[in-house]
Amino acid sequence: IYERYLVDKRLSKGTVTLYKGYIPRLFESWLDLPLNLLEKALTPEVVIDRFQHIRENNGPGAANNSFKCLQAIINYAEILYPQFITRNPTKVLSRAEMWAKIEGRDDCLEPKQFKIFSDALLKCTPAHRDCYTFALYHGIRPAEAYSLKWEDVDLENDFVTFRHETERSKRTYTVPLSRQSKAILSRRKAAATEGQVHVFPKQGPRNKHEHLILRADHLKGKTGLSLTPHGLRRSFITTGERLRLRREDINWLTGHTDNTVTGKHYAKLTPDDLRPVLQAICNEIERLMVDGIGAKVIRFSK
C-alpha cells in the first residue's frame, strides 16, 4: 500500500523524497504487516513507543513528519480496503495529544563553531563532507545540495542551477560558483564514476535513493553541535549580513523569491553580478573554518 500510495497520489518529487526518506528507514519492521493484521499489531502502546523512539533519536520534527506520512498511507488503505482496516492506528497520537510542538528553528553556526564544524567533518565520508561544505558555501536547502545533478553543473563557466520542488511550486535558479565551491565540484567530478547522475551519490547499499541524504541526527552525531543541515543555510545568510552585504543579493543567491515591485518588475541582475558577493561570503566562511576567530590573516593571491 505504501508503494501504491506513491504511484496513485501523483505527489511532487519533493514529497516523494520525503516519504522515501522516512517510511523505509523508520518503519522498516512494519512494512511487511498484512493489512488484516495491522490494527492488531499496531496497538496504541506500540505506536506511542515508536513515536517516542523517533522523537528521542531523530528529533521532534522527524517524529511528526514520519507519522504524518504513515497516517496518510493508512488513511488511503482504509479507503481502498475497508474490510481490513476500520480505524487508523496512528490516530492515537492525536487522541493522546502526543504530537510534538515544533518551535521555529534558529540553529546557526556561531563564529567560534565554524572550525569545530570543519574539523568534525573529517569523521564523515568524503562525499558527505563535500556535500555539507557545499551546502554551507551556497546557503542552499539540504535537498538542493544532495539531489544536485551533473547536468545542472557548468564547471567551464562557473555556474550551477538548483532545483527546488514542493507540492505547491517548482522553481529553479542559477547562481555563480565561488572558488571554494568550484574546488568541491571539481573534486567530486574527478571521483565520479562513468554514467553517474548525481554529484553526491548514495553511500552504502541501504540507502534507498540514488543520492546521499543529509540528516540532522547524522550531522549532530559527527559534529557534536546542535545543528541541522538547514542551519547551514542560516549560517551562510548570517555571515553575509555580518559582512553588511545587501540582503537582496543574499536572498537572490539563496533562492528566496523577491516579491517586491522592484524585485519582480525592475531588477534584472545576472548570476555574474552576484559573483563578488558570493565570493566575499565564501572567503569569510573559509577563514572561520580554517583559522577560527581571533586570528588576523592576510591572504595573497597567487
Which pLDDT band, with edges at 50, 70 and 90, does 262 fall under? low
Cα–Cα nearest to 16, from 213, 203, 165: 165
Share of the chain above pLDDT 70, in %: 89
Cα distance between residue 273 and residue 252, in whole Å: 11
Encode pLDDT of 76-92 as tens digits: 999 999 999 999 999 99
**For cell 476500520, what's the residue?**
86
Indicate the range of 130-144, 210-224, 261-275 predicted with least confidence.
261-275
Sequence letter at residue 147 = S
Nearest-angstrom CA–CA distance, 27 and 208: 14
Rounded to 5°, the CA angle 154-165-66 comes to 125
Residue 215: the pLDDT is: 87
Residue 231 has pLDDT above 70, yes or no: yes
Buried b / exposed e along 170-189 (16+ C-beta atoms within 10 A)? eeebebbbbebbbebbeebe
- Average pLDDT, rounded, for the chain: 89
Cell of 22: 522516512
pLDDT at 167 over 80: no
Give the helix/strand (H/E) hosting 24: helix 13-26
Cα–Cα distance measured from residue 138 to residue 127, given in angstroms and rounded to the nearest whole number = 16
pLDDT band at 208 (very low <50, low <70, confident <90, very high): low
Range from 169-173, 195-199, 261-265 that averages highest in pLDDT: 195-199
> Residue 175: pLDDT band by 50, 70, 90 thresholds?
very high
Q: Whose CA is closest to 200, among 137, 278, 125, 136?
A: 125
**Rounded Cα gap, residues 22 and 65, in angstroms:** 8
Strand partners, 257: none
161-182: average pLDDT: 84
Instruction: Give the per-residue pLDDT at 265.
Output: 44
pTM of the model: 0.70
CA distance linking residue 256 with residue 240, whole number of Å: 14
Least confident of 225-234, 252-261, 291-300: 291-300
Work out the end-to-end distance of the chain between its first and last CA atoms, rounded to an integer number of angstroms. Answer: 59
